[in-house]
Chain A
Amino acid sequence: MLKVQQRKSIYLLLILQLSLLSSSIVMAIEDDPDALWESSFKTHFFGDREIETKKPLVELKAPKRAANPALVPITIKSKIGQQPERYVKTIYLIIDKNPKPLAGKFSFTQESGQADLSMRIRINEYSKVRVIAELNDGSLSMASRFVKASGGCAAPVGSDIDKAMARLGKIKLFPRGENAPGEPLFTQFMVSHPNITGLQMDQLTRMYAPEHYVTKVDVSFNGKPVMSAETDISISENPSIGFYFVPSESGELKVMVKDSKGLTFTKVRKISAEN
């Protein structure tokens, strides 16, 4: 029979070997930031459809390192305008390593003028962020960026949840650019909302899970849809989205927000074409 000490060291040796084995597997997965996409997401979201990645019709701007994982500003640009014969119909935003990778699905029309977006997202860990643009003819284009998460005490959670709740549903909607007749106008939308999930809460406390996040944002101009977003918890606290629309005439820009508790919030802003 082995002495206790010897048994212990054999046990430790075994564990060390196991650890070397498992860490090399983990390394292999982490070395290739596209592994998750290639092995599962691509097929899951788009089946066996062709996706253009060499000369994509969409561009993604994101920081190399997320200084604040709760607030990572990104910009998405489309390389084509919204012409009747050829336009961007949908943009998918996927953050591979987030708990819910599909961060948002954004729909556009010809009234959008330009299918560009800016927003702030949460990035939980080192991850590829990818945007896939789907044109009206069904073709797909993808651009992606690798974003390093920050370490230390940073967390992908808003810093003042009470303030977001106190203002719950308050919306700001305002043009950011110059209004030129017939030209797409860059417009900012913001809604006060904690946009939190209950996932972590359940595991740690088993008692309280205030899942509460924005699920849908619909923007219309004079009743015609210009941008519609299905969103999730990867969008930062107080969701903020920049988008375009064409103010071809004077009228009303209207935004409607729905959240996971079934609450709705709306805001209307008058836009004059001459402005």
Chain B
Amino acid sequence: MRSFTGHFIKSLLFGSIGWSGVLLSSTPPALPIEEIEGGVYLFSGHQAMADKQNAGAIANIGFIVGNNCVAVIDSGGSPEQGKQLMAAVHSVTTKPVCYVINTHVHPDHILGNLAFKPQGAQFVGHQELPRAMALRGEHYLKTASRSLGFALPVEAIVMPDTVVRETLKIDLGGRLLILTAYPAAHTDNDLTVFDENTGTLWLSDLLFVKHVPVLDGSINGWLSVIDQLQKKQVNLAIPGHGAITHSLSQALEPEKRYLQTVRREIKEVIKQGGGMEMALEKVGLSEKEHWLLFEQFHKRTVSAAFAELEWEE
């Protein structure tokens, strides 16, 4: 508990959001969730940049309830959102949260971890998640204090206790979750969660719906993961941002087209002897009308893809 107290004092010192932090600490309201399949609960994130209004609650996060245990899948964009998610768990079940699964390192998916630490939950992530957290954690904490308006203690970065190399099965009691680790795609630490009972595949940021895809791993890797995912038969697919869908293959198409367009046009720039600046100006503009948050993320994806593709022979 000491770290929480410290956090609130720091919040007070660093920003006005701290006040709501104090109020929430006594009675955190439950995060609005929806049961999208039997025992599968989802909070739908706001399609926006993380800011003071949404306090980082921009990603789809949720949990799955078994006979003995609950597994949280992504904890949210702040310890406060993590607490609200925990309150949401308590509103539907008395079973303990045994696992917190982090689908990848991005702050909107991991910064709620701290809320589940006192309950003794086991944290699970991709085998490259610890390295990514170590390299980026400090920066994410600083960014939170600037753009979200609250300061977070270094403890808010909670490392996984268990890492997934290829696949890992988790038994929640009469309910098996299959966790799959991928090579570099959206990030270099992407994990999906498959719930056997309902045929639900939690893809997190391997699937973006309406929100422009954000590349922070490998464009070639991501496109081959998409091919792999399109062969899967699932009942329900949950993206990291945007609406859930019953037809996974179809839902992956716009993302695939976007990434293919970016890759093809970057290769053209490289062929013409152009540099990154030229690619940033020219590449992928035909995609603009199809996506939300294009202005905020497109150039970032182009620069990351360029830095990857210029190393191809």
Interface residues, chain A, with chain B CB atoms under 8 Å away: 12, 15-16, 18-19, 22-23, 67-68, 70-71, 73, 75, 118, 120, 124-125, 150-157, 159-163, 167, 172, 176, 190, 192, 196, 200-201, 203-205, 208, 236-238, 240, 242
Contact = CB atoms under 8 A, between A and B. Distances in A.
B278 to A, nearest CB: 10
B255 interface: no
A185 B184 CA distance: 37
Interface in B1-32: 9, 12-15, 18, 22
B138 A203 contact: yes
A19 B107 CA distance: 25
Given A15-B13, A71-B303, A237-B307, 5 more contacts: A124-B139, A153-B214, A163-B184, A192-B311, A242-B275
Interface residues of B, number: 56
B296 interface: yes
A71 B275 CA distance: 13
A178 B157 CA distance: 51
Given A22-B13, A125-B146, A238 B307 contact: yes
A200 B137 contact: yes
Contacts of B112: none
A18 B303 contact: no
3 closest A-B pairs (Cβ-Cβ)?
A: A67-B299, A153-B106, A155-B136
Interface string B212-246: 00111110010000000000000000000000000
A19 B150 CA distance: 12
B269 interface: no
A201 B304 contact: no
A159 B216 contact: yes
A204 B14 contact: no
7 contacts: A75-B277, A157-B136, A162-B188, A172-B311, A201-B134, A236-B307, A240-B310
Interface string B302-313: 111001101100
Contact of A152 (B49, B138, B307): B49
B21 to A, nearest CB: 12
Contacts of A151: 49-51, 143, 146-147
B273 interface: yes
B97 interface: no
Given A151-B143, A160-B308, A236-B307, A204 B157 contact: yes
Interface in B169-222: 184, 187-188, 214-218, 221
A204 B307 contact: no
A68 B187 contact: no
Given A67-B303, A71-B303, A160 B135 contact: no
Nearest to B138: A200
A210 to B, nearest CB: 8
Nearest to A205: B134
A71 B311 CA distance: 15
A150 B310 CA distance: 24
A131 to B, nearest CB: 17
A77 to B, nearest CB: 14
